[in-house]
Structure 1
Amino acid sequence: MTKPRECSRISSMLYHGLPLIKKQQQDVLGFLEANKIEFEEKDIAANEENRKWMRENVPEDRRPASGNPLPPRLFNDSRYLGDYEAFFEARENNAVYAFLGLTAPPGSKEAEALAKQQA
């Protein structure tokens, strides 16, 4: 059995509403699960405390001009990491572990890319 990756706490803010948001959430959660990265889901649709926590912890410069920030939003403990677009860009650039504040596992594309840069 593979041991989960060490991390503080990756949180994915969830909302069970719009199909696009649901697809993005599934994409993020699928990646975390497939790579055995420990995470905690926080449902903002059913829990006012989670909704308030997300609003307070998304930096002002990352909030929409009007309305509230929409999920998925990712955090490592209370440190804001980014939204789906930032996650997607990091994944496309083989830099998701760095985005999450984690060390890339040996043999991963990200670890190999880092080794080439440092060589």
Structure 2
Amino acid sequence: MGIKLYYTTVTGSRTVKSQQAEMMRILDSKSIEYKLVDISQGEEVRDEMRNKSGNPTAVPPQLFNEDQYCGNYEMFSEAVESDSVEQFLKLA
């Protein structure tokens, strides 16, 4: 599977929760298959997300196509606004 959404099931942040939910809803509405990767399962998963994104302080949600970084919530939101989600996810 290509698209991976790094997210967390353990957060006190309403913002993170709502961003994650919105990303999942939009991906589902566009019938784009994705794999959820929960960074709360261990530090190594969080570190993997940060290493692959090139940002040592990255927080979820983060999107990847295989190991290729696509972007964070703000970047995804801009792609939705410009109707370029497939290009953003490197599917087109």
TM-score, normalised with respect to structure 2: 0.89
Pick one of 69, 72, 86 that aligns with 1:83: 72
Q: 2:3 & 2:42 partners in 1: Cα distance?
A: 18
**Are 1:12 and 2:1 an aligned pair?**
no
Q: Offset of 1:86 from its aligned partner?
A: 0.3
Equivalent position amino acid for 1:77 in 2: E
Larger Rg: 1
Query: Which protein has greater RCO, CA pairs closer than 8 Å, 6+ apart?
Result: 2
Q: How many residues align?
A: 90
Q: 2:33 & 2:44 partners in 1: Cα distance?
A: 22
Q: 1:33 & 1:58 partners in 2: Cα distance?
A: 23
RMSD: 1.4
TM-score, normalised with respect to structure 1: 0.70
Unaligned runs of 5+ in 1: 1-7, 104-119
Pick one of 25, 28, 47 that aligns with 2:23: 28
In percent, how many aligned pairs have the same letter? 34
Unaligned runs of 5+ in 2: none
Q: Offset of 1:45 from its aligned partner?
A: 1.3
Q: Offset of 1:46 from its aligned partner?
A: 2.1
Q: 1:74 maps to what in 2?
A: 63
